[in-house]
Amino acid sequence: MMQQVIGVTGLTKQFKNITAVDDLSFSVQEGDVYGFLGQNGAGKSTTIRMLLTLISPTAGHIELFGMPLHSHRKEILQQVGAVIEKPDVYKYLSAYDNLKLFARLSGVKVTEQKLMQQLDMVGLAARAKDKVQTYSQGMKQRLGIAIALVHDPKLIILDEPTNGLDPQGIADIRNLILHLSREMKKTIVVSSHLLTEIEQVATKVLIIDKGKKIIEGESAELFDPAQTIVELITVDNVFSLQQLKQSSWQQNLQPKREHALLLKLDRKLIPQLHRDLVKMNIEVLSLQPRHSLEDYFLQVTSGNQHVDAFTN
């Protein structure tokens, strides 16, 4: 049976009159790549800062490795590695010297061979002796992850690790996360506002919006291709809804959106839906299939950031 690595219950954080995290509960099991998904400002970073004791909760309970965080802080954090925003490294030192310095600060005794292995794992061995100021943002991000791993933690927390990276940098971080999970058997929490990135690495997903949990589940279920939402806009939605309710598609109908009808179905059934709409004399203006989780994400979040989430 897998051990629970993180258990969060009723977590709340208020800043004056703003509730950044609102009664949030979730759990992360050993071996998970736990995707923490939400638009910028949803409360992801605030939650992560509470997990790392950088800020205190207003209410709620956090357990890591079966121990209460507030009373076992030091013991717990020795088993956690994290990269929050851009890694804080010494740009006038080399990657090797940065890693050596942070190992010493962590109280870890490591050989030169071990340090080079760490840098090789994140793809920096060839540039180990170069000053960090000559690195790209993606390379700095990978160095930050190497530093977070220097004390061989059981849990790794990455807050928006692909922010500001080019496509190659994003792919490098994605591959590194998969390596840490599959080869090194690490438990990883990775936050992002990019659904497509989370889809490619996560075994379990939590979506939050305005500090509240919206949905949580196994990636295999949430990203199931059979769970496609079709958004249908017709010349007369009232007439179309009546027709659909009297047809075999009635079981696929979802709660109506303001200007559209929604049906949930396997993507393979869309051609048949097309044919049946014609037979029912339904005049279609738009028929747009979306993944149900993508659609859910679009429904519960607001603003122009939608475009970011699915085009980056």
Residue 300 confidence (pLDDT): 62
What DSSP string describes the chain? -PPEEEEEEEEEEEETTEEEEEEEEEEEETT-EEEEE--TTSSHHHHHHHHTTSS--SEEEEEETTEETTTSHHHHHTTEEEEESS----TTSBHHHHHHHHHHHTT----HHHHHHHHHHTT-GGGTTSBGGGS-HHHHHHHHHHHHTTT--SEEEEESTTTT--HHHHHHHHHHHHHHHHTT--EEEEEES-HHHHHHH-SEEEEEETTEEEEEEEHHHHT-TT-EEEEEEES-HHHHHHHHHTSGGGGGEEEEETTEEEEEE-GGGHHHHHHHHHHTT--EEEEEEEEHHHHHHHHH--STHHHHHHH-
In terms of Cβ atoms closer than 10 Å to its own Cβ (0-12, 13-18, 19+), residue 221 is exposed
Residue 292 confidence (pLDDT): 64
Q: What is the pLDDT of residues 128-142, one digit of tens each?
A: 999 999 999 899 999
Residue 295 confidence (pLDDT): 67
Question: Quick one: fold of 228-311?
Answer: Alpha-Beta Plaits (3.30.70)
Assigned architecture for domain 4-217: 3-Layer(aba) Sandwich (3.40)
Residues of the chain with CATH 3.40.50.300: 4-217
Q: What is the pLDDT of residues 55-75, one digit of tens each?
A: 999 999 999 999 999 999 999
Query: Are 44 and 213 contacting, i.e. CB atoms less than 8 angstroms apart?
Result: no
Q: Which of 147, 196, 205, 156 is nearest to 177 (CA)?
A: 156
Q: What share of the chain has pLDDT > 70, as a percent?
A: 92
> 248 is written with which tokens?
């075999």
pLDDT: which is higher, 305 or 18:
18
Vertex 238: Cα angle to 236 and 244 (nearest 5): 100
- Is the pLDDT at 48 greater than 90, yes or no? yes
Mean pLDDT of the residues in the chain: 88
Residue 215 confidence (pLDDT): 84
pLDDT: which is higher, 107 or 80:
80
pLDDT: which is higher, 85 or 184:
184
- Is the pLDDT at 298 greater than 80, yes or no? no
Length of the chain: 312
* Residue 1: pLDDT band with limits 50, 70, 90: low
φ, ψ dihedrals at 191, nearest 5°: -100, 150
* Residue 299: pLDDT band with limits 50, 70, 90: low
Residues of the chain with CATH 3.30.70: 228-311
CA 260, CA 283: separation in Å to the nearest integer?
13
